[in-house]
């Protein structure tokens, strides 16, 4: 049987599974060699019957669909002529039309759903729209709106995105992952839904987080979307509201814990690398504190993995503090830090701070003494009657009197920087902020918890109660603040998006197999170095979000230099121009022709050469 006769027997879902991803490698099932990402736009027209696979199918596939931007020639050759209205609109005109419809929407959840639908129809136009207005759209596709979307995930669920793997799939995880039509996967973001932002256990509704995170991998870091895979590990939920909801889309039972849970995660990690290769990046997202730390310790030397809640948050916070030290004129090693929160984010920041100080010449044991952690039970102190939640907290439990009131802790410790990562809402009261302003000429106040209603204080309160003298950053965006005296402040957003796209771009491009902490310190230093004098003069500690792509590229280039210098890069030979190398790896939102390449032979080759030829 010929290849084409074999293919034509596979109609409907079977054929869709093999060919629906024009930007992906084609399936091995039909015996045609897999295509690389570079051959994306040609995959439908080389080696297969284009008219049969074209037409409606190309329009239904978000990776190949260009909508009304298909040229007349493409419409005729690809078998879609008549399936579109006659008007031909280029991407710029399409963007104007989409933007006009978007601007008429009334709520952020409506905007989220609109963008999700666009993503599922026309991938390149979706990412072009984000890049075109990153400042206003990023809060919709990610924090804070993604938190609301996760809470309403069952109500807005239309088409499945990513992969759902359950506790009942043990023994078959690799087989399930093999169902994903793309084979050239380079980045996996996985959650078990236990600690979604500051919202708690949302079970399978947490899928919105990996989807949103990977959208920013592409929009801000240029990771090709066909190389990205969002995954939700569903082991149940302890959320009573979800368990009682007849329309909940996840497993309707309580969370499975213990050895069965650990065995599933072990199998998942092995299966990802078995199916997609040893170089695939696996990012853990929104796991519970206990699991987050132990999985990072367990897997970091076996796989290419990191935890964004621990390491990404640490990197963006330390990058902001490196800029803040320029503003206050005081070295980080001489500052005192008080954290509201003692979980994975707080410990991640504290650990990276100590690494930075240690590399600056401070003895390791001395690096801990100026970092204080405060949780729901009070200040972490050395007290045998107090049981620490994780072994990582031990280094920051000081010989200090117990303090159970945060304001009292601020007065006693006199910190230069107050960093909120508790996810418990408005912990930084008027009195606390006023005390920070009494202690410091330029108090550093980072309210990093997400989403917005979980932030430790608003930007307006921070500026008002410190007389406009604070250096402020938040995890979710806040609007511009104008005080009564007319002074205006543009609060910085300490969002991990400044870090994880650049880290992923560098790691994936260079085929790094393991990610050391040093990479996140490099990312923090690069982020601080990207600040302009104008931005620092404005009191900002993070670059304008409009420059996020160039920031990501700078981080990726620095990482590339480091991994090649230390023998961590799997891709050989080493690129001489690392900037150009990184740029060539990045996704373009420009439409490409789906027509096959054509060329001419020299005319004299085709002329008969023998005697007697006329």
Burial class (CB in 10 A: 0-12, 13-18, 19+), 564: middle
Tokens at 348, concatenated: 């991640």
* Angstrom distance (rounded) from CA 513 to CA 310: 19
| Closest of 212, 207, 209 to residue 233, by C-alpha | 207
Query: Residues of 482-502 as b/e, b for ≥16 C-beta within 10 angstroms?
Result: eeeeeeebbbbbbbbbbbbbb
| Catalytic hit among 44, 102, 112, 142 | 142
| Closest of 57, 159, 218, 102 to residue 589, by C-alpha | 218
* Angstrom distance (rounded) from CA 496 to CA 476: 10
| Catalytic hit among 213, 454, 513, 558 | 213
Give the pairing type, strands 228-234 and 163-166: parallel
Tokens at 453, concatenated: 């209603």
Q: Where are the alpha helices (DSSP H) in 9-107?
A: 12-19, 50-53, 56-60, 72-77, 91-103
Alpha-carbon radius of gyration of the chain: 26
CB 461 within 8 A of CB 430: yes
Q: Where are the alpha helices (DSSP H) in 329-448?
A: 344-359, 406-413, 430-439
Q: CA dist 347 to 15, 395, 397, Å?
A: 49, 10, 12
What is the number of helices (H) and of strands (E) in the chain? 26, 14
Is 607 assigned a catalytic role? no
Tokens at 190, concatenated: 């996985």
Q: Which CB contacts under 8 angstroms, 24+ apart, belong to 171-180?
A: 171/267, 173/264, 173/267, 173/268, 173/271, 174/267, 174/270, 174/271, 174/274, 174/275, 177/271, 177/272, 177/275, 177/276, 178/275, 180/229
> 3-class DSSP state for residue 520?
helix
Strands (E) located in 67-199: 163-166, 187-191
| Closest of 23, 55, 190, 45 to residue 123, by C-alpha | 23
Adjacency order of strands within the sheet including 378-379 = 378-379, 371-375, 337-340, 417-420, 444-447, 471-474, 492-493
Is 124 assigned a catalytic role? no
* Angstrom distance (rounded) from CA 264 to CA 270: 10
Burial class (CB in 10 A: 0-12, 13-18, 19+), 479: exposed
**Which residues are identified as catalytic?**
142, 213
């Amino acid at each position: 049987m010929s290849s084409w006769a074999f293919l034509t027997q596979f109609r409907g879902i079977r054929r869709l599974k093999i060919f629906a991803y024009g930007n992906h490698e084609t399936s091995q099932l039909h015996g045609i060699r897999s295509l690389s990402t570079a051959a994306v736009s040609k995959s439908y027209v080389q080696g297969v019957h284009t008219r049969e696979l074209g037409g409606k199918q190309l329009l239904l596939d978000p990776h190949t669909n260009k909508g009304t931007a298909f040229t007349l020639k493409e419409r005729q050759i690809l078998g879609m002529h008549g399936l579109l209205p006659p008007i031909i609109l280029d991407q710029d005109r399409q963007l104007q039309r989409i933007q006009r419809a978007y601007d008429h929407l009334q709520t952020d959840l409506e905007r989220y759903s609109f963008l999700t639908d666009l993503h599922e129809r026309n991938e390149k136009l979706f990412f072009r729209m984000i890049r075109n207005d990153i400042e206003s759209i990023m809060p919709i596709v990610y924090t804070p709106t993604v938190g609301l979307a996760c809470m309403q995930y069952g109500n807005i669920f239309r088409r499945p995105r990513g992969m759902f793997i359950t506790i009942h799939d043990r023994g078959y995880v690799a087989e399930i992952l093999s169902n994903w039509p793309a084979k050239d996967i380079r980045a996996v973001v996985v959650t078990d839904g236990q600690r979604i932002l500051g919202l708690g256990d949302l079970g399978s509704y947490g899928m919105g987080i990996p989807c949103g995170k990977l959208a920013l991998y592409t929009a801000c870091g240029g990771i090709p979307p066909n190389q990205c895979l969002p995954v939700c590990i569903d082991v149940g939920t302890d959320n009573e509201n979800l368990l009682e909801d007849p329309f909940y889309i996840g497993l309707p039972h309580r969370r499975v814990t213990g050895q069965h849970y650990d065995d599933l995660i072990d199998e998942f990690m092995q299966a990802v690398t078995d199916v997609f290769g040893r170089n695939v990046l696996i990012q853990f997202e929104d796991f519970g504190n206990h699991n987050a730390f132990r999985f990072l310790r367990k897997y970091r030397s076996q796989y290419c993995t990191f935890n964004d809640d621990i390491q990404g948050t640490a990197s963006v916070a330390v990058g902001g503090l490196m800029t803040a030290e320029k503003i206050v004129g005081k070295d980080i090693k001489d500052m005192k830090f008080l954290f509201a929160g003692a979980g994975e984010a707080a410990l991640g920041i504290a650990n990276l701070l100590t690494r930075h100080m240690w590399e600056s010449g401070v003895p390791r044991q001395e690096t801990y003494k100026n970092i204080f952690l405060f949780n729901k039970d009070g200040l972490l102190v050395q007290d045998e009657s107090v049981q620490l939640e994780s072994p990582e907290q031990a280094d920051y439990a000081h010989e200090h009197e117990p303090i159970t009131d945060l304001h009292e802790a601020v007065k006693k410790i006199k910190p230069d920087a107050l960093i909120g990562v508790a996810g418990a809402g408005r912990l930084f009261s008027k009195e606390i902020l006023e005390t920070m302003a009494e202690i410091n000429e330029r108090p550093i106040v980072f309210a990093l918890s997400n989403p917005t209603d979980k932030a430790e204080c608003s930007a307006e309160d921070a500026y008002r109660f410190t007389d406009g003298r604070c250096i402020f950053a938040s995890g979710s965006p806040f609007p511009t603040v104008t005080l009564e005296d007319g002074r205006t402040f543009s609060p910085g957003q300490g969002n991990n998006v400044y870090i994880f796209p650049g880290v992923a771009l560098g790691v994936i491009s260079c085929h790094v197999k393991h990610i050391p902490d040093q990479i996140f310190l490099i990312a923090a230093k690069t982020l601080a170095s990207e600040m302009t004098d104008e931005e620092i003069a404005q009191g900002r500690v993070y670059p304008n979000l409009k420059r996020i792509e160039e920031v990501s590229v700078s981080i990726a280039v620095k990482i590339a230099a480091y991994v090649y210098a230390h023998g961590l890069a799997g891709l050989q030979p080493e690129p001489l121009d690392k900037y150009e190398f990184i740029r060539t790896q990045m996704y373009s939102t420009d439409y490409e022709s789906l027509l096959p390449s054509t060329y001419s032979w020299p005319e004299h080759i085709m002329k008969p050469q023998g005697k007697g030829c006329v």
